Amino acid sequence: MGLVQKKKKKPAEKADGEAAPPAAAKLTVFQKALMRDGGWNKESFPEFPEAVYWVRQIIALVCGVAWGILPLRGMMGIVLFVSANLAGTFTYYNKWCAVDEDDYGQVILMQEGLWTSVGLFLITWIFIFTLFHPSGESPPGPAPPPGW
């Protein structure tokens, strides 16, 4: 019989005969960001600041909701948010991802998405505060100084 047999592909081979990339290379930025020691290195540098950016946005949403429900007001809320944002981001990339700051530049990582997260925090904080405390009243606390 003159039938030509087709060459069977190996599981790790593409249709054109090239070797498929390892499974770790198929991870999305989101999947790598959630993994402890996600394998970030100099080659994946363009993707890592994106992961840091989204971590900041999540911190901003959580803080905005919490500050609005608590009802924190004024400069105290902003200072607490900036502190939580910087500490959370630093802990994420230094402890969770275990990246070498010298490979990326600590200033770049600390600035990535900072002002966007501040804006998102303020919008969330104001919206939730207004939703839960429509009269603008805070729980009982120290009286404001005379003349306010």
Domain count, the chain: 1
- Residue 144 pLDDT grade (very low, low, confident, very high; cuts 50, 70, 90): low
pLDDT at 83 over 50: yes
- Average confidence score pLDDT of the chain: 78
Task: Give the percent of the chain with pLDDT over 70.
Answer: 72
| Residue 63 within a domain | yes
Identify which has the larger pLDDT, 93 or 41. Answer: 93
- Return the sign of the alpha-carbon dihedral for residues 126, 76, 90, 65: negative
Cα–Cα dist 102/70, whole Å? 38
Structural domain containing residue 61: 48-93+102-129
Identify which has the larger pLDDT, 105 or 79. Answer: 79
| Residue 31 within a domain | no
